[in-house]
A and B are shown apart, each in its own frame.
Chain A
Amino acid sequence: MGASGCGKSLTLKCIAGIVTPEEGKIVLNGKVLFDSKLGINIPPQQRKIGLLFQNYALFPNMTVRENIGISCNKKNRKSITDRLLKEFRLNQLESRYPGQLSGGEQQRVAMARILAYDPEALLLDEPFSALDSYLKEELQQNLIDFLRKFNKDILMVSHSRGELYRFCDYIAVIDHGSLMETGNKRKIFEDPEKFITARLTGCRNISRAIRISDYEVRAIDWSVNLHTNKRVEDNIRYVGIQSCYIKPGEQHEENTIPINLSDSLEGPDQVKFVLTKQEDANYSHNSNLLWTVAKQEWRHLYQLKFPEYIQIPKEHILLLTESEKRKIC
């Protein structure tokens, strides 16, 4: 996971061998593919790594059948291609050219072509970025089904947190070419340690912070002291709260902030409120809070008066450190 241009795709290309890194080491299943110190650089043809390109890179001069069978030797080309055409439901399309296929069909051909090569690992480079959004969900389910049958390592690159959450078990966060944080997807999404991880997983409410005591922290941008469940470490720099975990509050409760509603953005199944602090003399855009409420809850809320205070539940407070730079390898 990483923002556009952070080096995700480049990392995949280095692993596949089509880009040569300046330094470092790439090892797959115990086999050294690249080592700048020892001068090892196995050509991509011998790495046996399947790479699904962002635009699928199907050969436009070949039919679907020819594309899939390109890596096979003459002897078993027909049997392998027949099997994959069936598996990826491409029988009807076998004599079409890539230019005549939809985005989803192209993706299936590209996957079939890679599997015909029987790679030892599979790399997916933003597999859905070339597709229309309304088709994505169905295609994602299809791809997940195909990937389940592939019982070797799969590495996927994306800037879409939804996609990553659906597809991956283990996530590595990359920023400016450096590895920031790695972990189980639930850990990364629900309990990130780094500022950049919180941002990339969709946390919109982040404030600069100072430690006050073991279980109390000052949120500078929100001018409030927050009590926490987790122990506050010395290296804390930011606190965050996911917009869906904010609750309406009362003045006397702990971790409450007086707010004004400045804007509301209605989506198809949820409403987002943009909140500003009350009596905020030095107003800055940074101190805005975003509060996401499900439609149903919103109707309920709307009948009552809009709350004057919001509460930041202590169990959902993210304690974040600065992102110090670390090389990928």
Chain B
Amino acid sequence: MNWSPLWISLSVAIPATMITFFLGIFIAKKVISANAPVSKLLDVIFTLPLVLPPTVVGFLLLILFGKNGLIGRFLYSVGIQIVFTRLAAIIAAIVVSFPLMYRSAKAAFEQQDGNLIQAGRTLGLTKIQIFWRIEMPLAAPGILSGTILTFARALGEFGATLMIAGNIPKITQTMPMAIYMNIQRGETKIASVWVLLMIMLSFFMILFLNFINIKKEEKGIHNITS
């Protein structure tokens, strides 16, 4: 059995999650502080990849990163090819999983009692201190669950990845791709190994997610932010 799809999946999902983590928090903060109409519009745009079919996202990514694409053309001229590479798979995973991180972080920040931030300001804390010592710790459970959802989504990404990164064994063939390919070939046994692995991974991620929520309740955090 060839295990390369597992390593490829991880080498796509881990960097994608790391980038989405910071990007999601950063964008969520920006959208919250934007003016009402702008904020509403941005929110729609950043949530769109969640509801669009992955093939639509894949199509749009091809327009951007293809050889004749808006960004792709420039990158190609300096010798960088995106399409059908590991990088393309990472980009697809970021775009598709981004709304999960963004929405989790935004909800976590918006839920917070605004008085806490104001209290921090009247106690002489700088913006940075308030962010790291008050906002982030309070948003942590929401951000952590967003991160897990992001990772799970990045790991399971299929449609957009297929369109922009292809299904090249040992280069861009991730676990979901391997399942599809093996079924096509009639290799049901190999496919079922991958299926089982995906189910186990997802099971433990959700278990961990619930564990975070229990921890949060024990600390009594939920009953003060009224």
Contacts and interface: CB of A to CB of B under 8 A. Distances in A.
B140 to A, nearest CB: 8
A57 B115 contact: yes
Contacts of A59: 116, 119-120, 133-134
Contact of A16 (B122, B222, B224): B122
Given A53-B115, A55-B226, A100-B220, A61 B138 contact: yes
A17 B121 contact: yes
B224 A45 contact: no
Contacts of A16: 118, 122
A236 B125 CA distance: 51
**Which of B116, B137, B226 has the largest count of A CB atoms less than 10 A from its CB?**
B116
B224 A18 contact: no
Given A55-B226, A57-B116, A61-B138, A71 B123 contact: yes
Contact of A60 (B123, B133, B224): B224
Contacts of A258: none
Contact of B118 (A43, A48, A57, A117): A57
> What is the predominant secondary structure among interface residues of chain A facing chain B?
loop
A65 interface: no
In terms of DSSP, what is the predominant structure of the interface of chain B?
loop
Given A46-B124, A60-B221, A61-B219, 20 more contacts: A13-B118, A17-B121, A18-B118, A44-B121, A45-B124, A49-B122, A51-B118, A53-B115, A57-B113, A59-B116, A59-B120, A59-B134, A97-B220, A97-B221, A98-B220, A99-B220, A99-B221, A99-B224, A100-B220, A114-B123
A50 B122 contact: yes
B115 A117 contact: no
Interface string B109-142: 0000101101111111110000001100110000
A58 B226 CA distance: 11
Nearest to B225: A60
Nearest to A130: B226
Interface in B175-226: 219-226
Nearest to B220: A99
Contacts of A44: 118, 121-122
Contacts of A45: 121, 124-126
B127 to A, nearest CB: 9
A70 interface: yes
Contacts of B125: 45, 70-71
A74 to B, nearest CB: 13
A113 B122 CA distance: 11
Interface in A82-133: 97-100, 113-114, 117
A85 B122 CA distance: 21
A98 B224 contact: yes
7 contacts: A49-B122, A61-B138, A61-B219, A70-B125, A98-B220, A99-B223, A117-B123
